[in-house]
Structure 1
Amino acid sequence: MDSDACYFFLRHRRRRMGGTIPDHLMLHTLNVGSPASRGTPGISWTRSLELVLCILLLLMILPAASHVDWRTRVPVDPVFLKTNSNITVREGGRAELPCTVQHLGTKQVVWRHVDADKYLTIAQQPWSPDVDVEVHHVQHNEELSDWTLVLPKVKKVDAGLYQCQLTSSAGFHTFVRLNVVGPPITEPDVVLKGTQFVERGGKIELQCNATGGKQLADAIDWFKDGNIITGERLKEYKILSTHMLEHGALVSNLQIDRARIQNGGTYVCRSSHNVLRDIVVQVLVADSSNKKRGTISSANSSNSSRSGAMETSSSPSPLCLLVGLLVYVWPLSV
C-alpha cells in the first residue's frame, strides 16, 4: 500500500468512525503522502516511516470497526426445528412431547392442549396447579434450546393435539399429536392353567397367559421337568402363541393329543419378562387301577369266608346240645 492510498483510506475511515483518528496524527503521519506533497522530494527513510505508521493505524482501526458491526447486527426470527410430531403412549405410561426452538431471544415458550382449549405451561412453570405436567428445558447453546412437555402418567383424556408456541410472536408455533392406547401399565404377570389329571390316551391342554409390563411380552418358553421343550422334544407337543393386543397379553397354548405315562410331570411356562409359573400333570392308568381295586375286594371276601367258618365251627348246634343233655340225664333216671 503506497502513501496516497493509505491517506485516502484513513480519511474515509475517519469519516465513518466519527473522527476517532486525531487530526494532528493524520497530518504528522501522512503529510508526505498527501496529494499536496506529491511533488515535493523526500528522503527514503521518511517514506518507510510513513508506511509503518499507516500499518499501525490500520491495526488500531479494524478492531473498533469490528466492534461496531457486532453491536449493530440484524435480529433473526425464531425457528421451530423439525421433531417427532406424532407420539403414541400406552395408558398409564410417560409421554414426552418435543419442542426445539432456535433464536428464541427474550420470548417465552408456552404449551397448550388444543383439544381441551387449556394452557398448560409458560416457560417451565405450570399454568394452573391442577395440571400434572412439567417442562424439561435443555440449553444446547446460545441460540438452540429444547422445551419438552412431560406427562408422567398419561390418561385417556390426555390424548389429542398439543401446541408449542411463543409469547409476543403471532404465527410462531408447532403442533404435536398425542395418541393414548391400550389398558394401563401393570406389573408383568403370568397365569398358567389347564389339565392336571388325565387318563392315558387322553388330551393334555395347558394355557400360559403373559400380561403387564411397559411393553407386551414377545416370547414364552415351555419346560418339562426342568428341560426346555425344543428340538426333538417338540415333536410330540403342539405349541401356538398369539398376541392379544386388545387385552395386552401374549397367550401360548401347549397341547398333547394322546397322553402317555411319560407325559406326566411338572410343566413350566416363562415369559420374556422372566416371570414363570408351573403346573403338575398326572397321567392315570385305568386298567391297573381297576385290577388293584378288584384284588383288594377279593382278599376281603376270602377273609370274611374264613372268619365265618371259624364262627360256625366254634358255635355248638342245637342237636348236639340235645344229645348231650340226654346222655347226662338218662343215668340219673335209671
Structure 2
Amino acid sequence: MTFRMPPEWAPHERTWMAWPGPNPTFADAEELAEAREAWAAVARAVRRFEPVTVVHGPGQGESARALLGPDVDLVERDLDDAWMRDIGPTFVVDGDRLAAVDWVFNGWGGQDWARWEHDSQVARHVAALAGAPVLSSRLVNEGGAIHVDGEGTVLLTDTVQLGADRNPQWTREQVEAEIHAKLGTVKAIWLPHGLSGDYGLYGTQGHVDIVAAFARPGTVVVHSQQDPAHPDYERSRTYVEILSAETDAKGRALEVVEIPAPTVLKDEDGDWVDYSYINHYLCNGGVVLCGFGDPNDETAAGIFRRLFPDRTVTLVDARAIFAGGGGIHCITQQQPKVRQSAV
C-alpha cells in the first residue's frame, strides 16, 4: 500500500466537525453558547463550498440543528470535546482508495482538565461513517500537530511528537519513521516549539498548525509577531530563520511568507494570546480565515487572496474558539476526494 496524505488544497469530499457540548473547556453556559455560535459560523462558511458533517453528543442534535441550519449533516456519537482536527482521523489516499489514520489520542498529553474516553474513539467512528478502513498507529499525535505539502514534506514540533507526556520512549528517528509510514512523507521539518500561548491551560503544547502551514509546494506561511513586547516576537523569528534555511522533499528552497499577527497582545485576563491567522482552513474553492475584530484581519485576508487567487477568502470571528484553546483549523478535518477508477 502507498497511502499518502493529500495537501489541504486538494479536492475534498466533505469536512468533518464536532459540536461543542458541556465540558471543562467551556466552563459555563455563556461560554458554551458563544462556542456554539462560533463553531456554527465556521460550519456555515465551509458549507458554502462543500458538504459538512457535524458529530454531536447524545441529546445535542436539536441545539446543533438550530444554529447550523438545514443543509449541514448531523450524526450522533459520544463526545468529550469538539476539536475534530485532533480527535478525528487523518485521511489518506491511494489512487481510488481512502483510508483513515487513527493516532493515539491522550488529551493533548494527558492534561488535568481533559477527558478523552469518548474522543479517543471518534477517529474510528468517523472512519466508519466515511467507509474508510482504519490504519492504526501507536504514536500519540493529533491532526493539528502535522502539516503536509502533498509532495513528501511534513512539518512537526519537538514539544508535541517528542513531548514527555505524549511519546517519552520514542526517538526522533522513530517518530519520523512512523509519520512517514502513515502519511507517505519522506522529509520532516522540525520546529522547536509552538506559540507561547499554546502552553497555557487549554493549550496543545505546541501544535504546528498555529505556527506554520504550507500554502502550496515550496511555499509556507508563518506566524509573524510584530510587537517586541510579546514573547512570540522572538519565537516567530526563530521559525522564519529555520524555514528559510530549509528545503522540501523535492529539494526546493522554501519560500517563507510572513503573516503579521493580530495587534492584540493579551486577553481580558492579562494572559498572552496566541491569536494567529495561520490556523485557517482550505476547502473547495474557499479559505476560511480566523478573524479577531483586528486591524490586521484585512491585511491577512489580502495576503491569502494573493496566495489563493482562485479561492474566496472568508473571515470568521474566531475569538470564542481561541478562548477554548484552538482556531478554525483545529475544529475542521478534511476528507479528501479520491480519484475515481476508470469504468
Between structures 1 and 2, the one with greater strand share: 1
Larger Rg: 1
Output the TM-score relative to the length of structure 1: 0.17
Query: Which structure would you say has the larger RCO, counting Cα contacts within 8 Å and 6 or more residues apart?
Result: 2
